[in-house]
């Protein structure tokens, strides 16, 4: 069935470091791909999305490219800030509009 696999956390970085959070997926058809962010005690916020192969989603300095050949949607940011500390979820949409989430990757950025 459809699934999403993310790299395990927690990921701990110093401020201004480069961030990569790996995400791979298994799906039938051509799903849309999403990254959501969850700050402590809150719900999820959409960070970025890509709807077809080779699309690049970007927002707030974060980027991810929909790679059909490697079934990946890795999240990157060139210089992280303390305020980026959160849990990041990769997700894909399936028939019916439901989202299938990865297990989440906790990011902790130290000053």
Contact set with other proteins (CB under 8 A):
32, 34, 36, 41-46, 49, 51, 89, 93, 95-104, 106
To the nearest whole angstrom, how small is the minimum distance from the Cβ of residue 77 to other proteins?
A: 20
In the complex, least distance from residue 16 CB atom to other proteins, rounded to whole angstroms? 27
**Cβ at position 50, least distance to other proteins in Å:** 10
Nearer to other proteins, 41 or 111 (CB): 41
SS3 of the chain: the string is CCEEEECCCCEEEECCCCEEECEEEECCCCCCEEEEEECCCCCEEEEEEECCCCCEEEECCEEEECECCCCECCEEECCCCHHHCEEEEEEEECCCCCEEECCCEEEEEEC
Nearest to other proteins of 74, 93 (CB atom): 93
Closer CB to other proteins, 69 or 95, in the complex: 95
């Amino acid at each position: 069935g459809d699934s999403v696999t993310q790299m395990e956390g927690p990921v701990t970085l110093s401020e201004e470091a480069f961030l990569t959070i790996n995400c791979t997926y298994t799906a039938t058809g051509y799903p849309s791909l999403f990254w959501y962010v969850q700050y402590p005690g809150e719900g999820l916020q959409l960070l970025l999305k890509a709807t077809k192969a080779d699309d690049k989603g970007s927002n707030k300095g974060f980027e991810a490219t929909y790679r059909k050949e490697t079934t990946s949607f890795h999240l990157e940011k060139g210089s992280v800030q303390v305020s980026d500390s959160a849990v990041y979820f990769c997700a894909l949409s399936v028939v019916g509009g439901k989202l299938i989430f990865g297990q989440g990757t906790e990011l902790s950025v130290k000053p």
